[in-house]
A and B are shown apart, each in its own frame.
Chain A
Amino acid sequence: MDALTAALKVAASGLGAQSERLRVVSENLANAQSTGSSPGADPYRRKTVSFVTELDRATGGSLVEIGSVDRDPSKFPVEFQPGNEAADEKGYVKMPNVNVLVEMADMSEANRSYEANLQVIKQARDLISMTIDLLRGQ
């Protein structure tokens, strides 16, 4: 497999990894208010992704993949909502440890990385086209 095709494969793995990252971010955002269903129960715990490099034997390219989807171990913030079904005896409810601003920033980073990988794919594809074009139009 030549280097340009290897570049395509690597960039495609980048697209996949960033897509999964975006999926996790959207899960966090969707569940930013998901409290538990019984008094004192734990709410939604924020998910995090970790990237890991995988060396492709066939091409020598540095593919990337999501190593694992973990849970953020930080403490749940607490709000005073006595009417909530998850409120403990003092009326406090544990809220998900999701910070919407952090998630939005992560989302725009993921978008930026996604776009960059997409550009690599476009460029590698164009370079291959240029090579084939050498034979065209003679």
Chain B
Amino acid sequence: MEPVNLFELAARQSQWLSVRQSAIAGNIANANTPGYVARDVEPFEKVLDRAAVSLSATQAGHLGDAATNAGFAVKQEETTGSILPSGNTVVLENELLKAGEVRRSFELNTAIVKAFHAMMMAAVKS
């Protein structure tokens, strides 16, 4: 298996989490808009599968995406829950649950990066 650069993987995940956060923000802001269908970003596993070849390369270029969604697909979710008569499918509780997940993952992500950065610096100091 190709060695994976931890910092690049963490950077990609934090981008994904940020895009998910903005999708959640859009859903919550539009919770009362008629006809608005809740949206979510594609799962991170799919992103990894797609990028399996390029992630292990040391190219920083593909991380510098200017577009807000950074190349992740943000699509309308299939509605498993209730659809209001107005056509709105946003369930506030689910959105807040997702936001909690994003927060936990993000905290773990930054903690890991901080720790490995510190280890790297300590190891490299002569």
Contact = CB atoms under 8 A, between A and B. Distances in A.
* Direct contact between A and B judged by beta carbons closer than 8 A: yes
Interface of A: 1-4, 6-8, 10-11, 13-14, 17, 21, 50-53, 59-64, 109, 112-113, 116-117, 119-120, 123-124, 126-127, 130-131, 133-134, 138
Given A1-B68, A134-B117, 10 more contacts: A13-B29, A14-B30, A51-B34, A61-B26, A64-B33, A120-B21, A123-B102, A124-B25, A131-B14, A138-B121
Interface in B12-60: 14-15, 17-19, 21-22, 24-26, 28-34, 36, 39
Contact of B29 (A17, A59, A123): A17
Contacts of B73: none
Given A127-B103, A130-B107, A131-B110, A61 B68 contact: yes
Interface of B: 14-15, 17-19, 21-22, 24-26, 28-34, 36, 39, 67-70, 92, 95-96, 99, 102-103, 106-107, 110, 113-114, 117-118, 121
A2 B110 contact: no
B70 A11 contact: no
Contact of A127 (B26, B28, B106, B118): B106
Nearest to A62: B26
A57 to B, nearest CB: 10
16 contacts: A3-B70, A7-B22, A10-B22, A51-B30, A60-B69, A61-B22, A64-B30, A113-B28, A113-B32, A113-B92, A116-B92, A116-B96, A123-B99, A123-B103, A127-B18, A134-B110
A130 B113 CA distance: 11
Contacts of A7: 18, 21-22, 24-25
Nearest to B118: A138
Given A3-B22, A4-B22, A6-B22, A14 B29 contact: yes
Contacts of B110: 130-131, 133-134
Nearest to B110: A130
Contacts of A3: 15, 18-19, 21-22, 68-70
A41 B68 CA distance: 54
B26 to A, nearest CB: 4
